[in-house]
Amino acid sequence: MVIGVLVFAGGTVVVVVVVVVALVFVAFVLSAVVQPSHKLVNASMASRAKVRRIAYPPVAPQGLG
């Protein structure tokens, strides 16, 4: 991770740790919010696939018997 550094005219170096910590916190909160929605989408896709398999079973090819 890159920490932003501001250099002023007097040569004072200020490390912008607060901004980095805030960005990491925002990323953590967003990932915590996004992951459950992905799980919900995957679960609904799996249940739809089950319904499709039950509703439309594979049909044997005609004329091979």
**What does the H/E/C string look like for 27-65?**
HHHHHHHHHHHHHHHHHHHHHHHHHHHHHCCCCCCCCCC
Q: Is the pTM of this model over 0.85?
A: no
- Asked which of 1-5, 14-18, 25-29, 46-50 is least confident by mean pLDDT, the reply is 1-5
Q: How many domains does the chain have?
A: 1
Tokens (6 digits) for 51 = 């319904």
Instruction: Share the mean pLDDT of the chain.
Output: 63
Please say if the pLDDT value at position 40 is more than 80: no
**50 inside domain:** yes
In a domain, residue 25? The reply is no
Phi, psi of 30 (to 5 degrees): -65, -40
Residue 11 lies in a domain: no
Question: Is residue 9 one of the residues assigned to a domain?
Answer: no
* pLDDT at residue 16 tops 60: no
Q: Find the radius of gyration of the CA atoms of the chain.
A: 27
Within a domain: 38: yes
For residue 27, tell me if it sits in a domain: no
More confident residue, 65 or 26: 26
Is residue 6 situated within a structural domain? no
